[in-house]
Amino acid sequence: MGFDQYHEPPEELPAKTRTFARLCASLTEEAEAIGWYEQRLAVEQDPAAKAIMRDAQGEEFKHFSMDLEFLLRSTPTWREIAHGVLFQPGDIVEHGEEAEAEANEGGGSDGAAPDEDDSGSLGIGGLKGGVQ
Amino acid sequence: MNHLLRSVAPVTDSGWELLDDEAKQRLTAALAARKLVDFAGPRGWTHSATNLGRSTAVDKAPCEGVTARQRRVLPLVELRADFAVSLSELQDHARGALDVDLDNLDGAAHQIALAENIAVFHGWKKTGIAGIAETSPHDAIPLGQSTDAYPHRVARAVELLLHSGIAGPYGLALGRDEFTNVVETAEHGGYPLLDHLRKILEGPIVWAPGVKGAVVVSLRGGDYLFESGQDLSIGYARHDEQSVHLYLEESFSFLVATPEAAVHLSAA
């Protein structure tokens, strides 16, 4: 697919950002695939074909979830907002606004820190591959 | 708010940004072990032990007809380095001062990085951490007094690793004196020693305060695992009229999976 996922010259981006961009691209692809399977399932009449596609869509659910978890672990502020939105009953938009406000108030930082309450981590993480 | 209690400290958002940026800069330069070993986590402050995948038989189960085994784990260690920052310095930062005195933070950052490096490279017996140099089955190679011999010694270490089936690329952790020796030396013909060693290793050379001598480590992965619980963070302890008392803190364990994947080059 070339370097479509980069908006800046890849050679100027740190390895961590390139990985982040790859996973963002992967997340998009998985979401697209889920949507495509949903459409195919809606029109397919053959039960066997339908079962196969449902199984395949399940794989995409898994891939999407894994991509998302990686990205959330890499981005504490995103994770914090997601915490306030995902798996919560009630008004989604309301939760989103509240979670965003709370994250901004907490001054969420960048970097890897997947703790449930990771505010304060310097986000240093692993440094292997980052030195010459 | 988590256990670091940052939100109750008398430090503004820009003050925290200043402290975090300074700490990150200092730590990143000195955290040599993380530049050479695999890193897992961070798993969070509540993560207490690393799974070893091992168990020990327990002599007597609670009743007959039952056998028992107990899991063995490696408990995480917590490192903490206290420091204080003058409140007036932070106030001056808010006014736009650029030369804020953060010496205490710098000192704490160096010490905690030093402790992490020593634990990983030379072990920490009391906590069950075995170090890379200590567990290596290869005889340590004396670095010698003269930097002229460094390429030969490093090449010998690389050959030892190859002979043991340990693939490269390889990284070199150099203690402070050894790093200075390498950086300041040009070989016959003016070729920098640093570049020569890099060519032998096909990998990075790392400034590693706390390392005695030097260590050649395979970077192929899967040989050494640093598991982070809470990654390095700044927390708040207390404050008085003059200063805010803070600390740098982390929790981690370190495991050696392949002891033969490194060679220690002992200091002269």
In this predicted model, what pLDDT tens digit does every residue of B32-86 receive, in sequence order?
999 999 999 888 899 999 999 999 999 989 999 999 999 999 999 999 999 999 9
B198 contacts on A by Cβ (under 8 Å)? 132
Model pLDDT for residues B11-40, shown as the tens digit of each residue: 998 899 999 999 999 999 999 999 999 999
B57 strand-pairing partners:
B69
What are B's interface residues with A at a Cβ cutoff of 8 A?
1-2, 4, 6-7, 13, 16-17, 20, 23-24, 27-28, 31, 34-39, 41-46, 198, 204, 206, 219, 226, 228, 230-235
Residue B254 has pLDDT above 90, yes or no: yes
Task: Kindly provide the residue ranges of all beta strands, DSSP E only, lying in chain B, ordered along the sequence.
Answer: 38-40, 49-58, 68-75, 77-86, 141-142, 170-174, 205-207, 214-218, 224-228, 233-239, 243-256, 262-266
d(CA A109, CA A119): 7
Q: What pLDDT is attached to residue B224?
A: 96
- pTM for the model stands at 0.71
Q: In whole angstroms, what is the distance from residue B120 CA to residue A122 CA?
A: 20
**A132–B16 C-beta distance less than 8 A:** no
Peptide bond into B169 cis (omega under 30): yes
- B241 pLDDT above the threshold of 80: yes
- Residue-wise over B201-227: b if at least 16 C-beta within 10 A, else e? bebbbbbbbbbbbbbbbbbeeebbbbb
Confidence class for position A4, pLDDT limits 50, 70, 90: confident
How far apart CA B261 and CA B217 sit, in angstroms, is: 6
Residues forming a β-bridge with B236: B246
Collapsed DSSP state (helix, strand, coil) of residue B174? strand
Tell me how close the Cα of A30 comes to any Cα of chain B, in angstroms. 25
Mean pLDDT of chain B: 93
By mean pLDDT, which of A80-89, B150-159, B257-266 is the weakest?
A: A80-89
Tokens of B23: 């700490």
Q: Do A122 and B20 touch (CB under 8 A)?
A: yes
**A75 Cβ contact partners less than 8 Å away, ≥ 6 residues apart:** A20, A110
Strand partners, B15: none
3-state secondary structure of B268: coil
State the sign of the Cα–Cα–Cα–Cα dihedral B114, B119, B123, B128: positive
Average pLDDT score, chain A: 84
Find the radius of gyration of the CA atoms of chain B.
22
A14 touches chain B (CB under 8 A): no
* Residue B172 Cα to chain centre, angstroms: 14
Whether pLDDT at B165 is above 50: yes
3-state secondary structure of B95: helix
Tell me the three state secondary structure of residue B101. coil
| Helices first, then strands: H and E counts in chain A | 4, 0
- Of B28, B39, B231, Cβ closest to residue A113: B231
Q: Strand, coil or helix: what is B244?
A: strand
* Cβ contacts of A80 within 8 Å, gap of 6 or more: A99, A102, A103, A106, A108, A119
Instruction: Convert the pLDDT of each residue in A95-117 to its tens digit.
Output: 899 888 877 765 443 334 344 44
